[in-house]
Structure 1
Amino acid sequence: TGTAPSPTELFVASLASCVAFYARRYLQRHDLRQDGLVVTAQATSGAKPSRVASMTITLTLPDGVPEDKRQALLAVASHCTVHNTLTHPPDVLVQLAG
């Protein structure tokens, strides 16, 4: 019906949600406000082969996050599992059953 996200949209969303998860966990661990955390994702497509060519994940932090914590949070969020997987690609095998 065209209302469900495409596999590519889910792929980009998985990175954004992973970054958000790590960012929120950082805020919790440092007793900082979590409400107001917004994570957005943008992606560009590439051709030959068809692929996601680039992704930009932008974090808007809640008010009151000290400057020294902002860079640390970015470092933590930039090393979420999905980001690590993209920067250190796994071996991928597509095969037929049987």
Structure 2
Amino acid sequence: MKIEVKLLEGQKLQASFGKHQIISDQSVSVGGNESQPEPFDYFLASMPLCAAFYIRKFCEQRDISTEGISLTQDNNNIGEDKYHKRFNIVVTLPDSFPQKYRKALLAAANTCTVKKVIQAMPEFEIAIAE
């Protein structure tokens, strides 16, 4: 997928891809207005959103209501390296969720594409256009 980014006023950025646009901003401490999430916030949100998608698909395939299902994610640094993080996603299920599907539901959440790409350790290259 091709993503094009434009630098807007202040510290705002706009990413355009397909039919969609995402605008980010920065915190006040680095010159932004905090009017939109920061780029790293979008990255963080992508993981539980992806897991939730797979949970929803799992439930739809079994005609299980998704009412009362929620996910919460937090992250902590591992050691001294601020970039080495542990992400914890906790799935809250209603009491009515069938016990026999709980492990399978977690397996479905673990098929999240975002998680799999990160675990595969992608390679990055940044270059100047010629």
TM-score by length of 1: 0.86
Select the structure that is richer in helix: 1
TM-superposed deviation, 1:63: 3.4
CA distance in structure 2 between the aligned counterparts of 1:32 and 1:52, rounded to whole angstroms: 36
Select the structure that is richer in strand: 2
Structure showing greater Rg: 2
Aligned CA distance change for structure 1 residues 45 and 96 (closer, same or farther; 3 Å): farther
Q: For each residue in 1:16-59, what CA deviation from the matched residue of structure 2 results, as whole angstroms up to 9, or x when unmatched? A: 10000000110111110111111111122469765251211111
CA distance in structure 2 between the aligned counterparts of 1:75 and 1:44, rounded to whole angstroms: 23
Question: Structure 1 stretches (4+) deviating beyond 6 angstroms?
Answer: none
- Name the counterpart of 2:128: 96
Unaligned runs of 5+ in 2: 1-32
1:22 to 9, 32, 54: 54
- Name the counterpart of 2:108: 76
- Name the counterpart of 1:44: 76
CA distance in structure 2 between the aligned counterparts of 1:3 and 1:63, rounded to whole angstroms: 38
TM-score by length of 2: 0.67
- Name the counterpart of 1:85: 117
Is 1:26–1:73's contact at 8 Å kept on the other side of the alignment? Answer: yes
CA distance in structure 1 between the aligned counterparts of 2:113 and 2:60, rounded to whole angstroms: 18
Unaligned runs of 5+ in 1: none
The 3-state SS of whatever aligns with 2:90 is strand
How many equivalent pairs are there?
A: 98
Aligned CA distance change for structure 1 residues 84 and 57 (closer, same or farther; 3 Å): same
Identity in percent: 31
Tell me the C-alpha RMSD between the 2 structures: 2.0
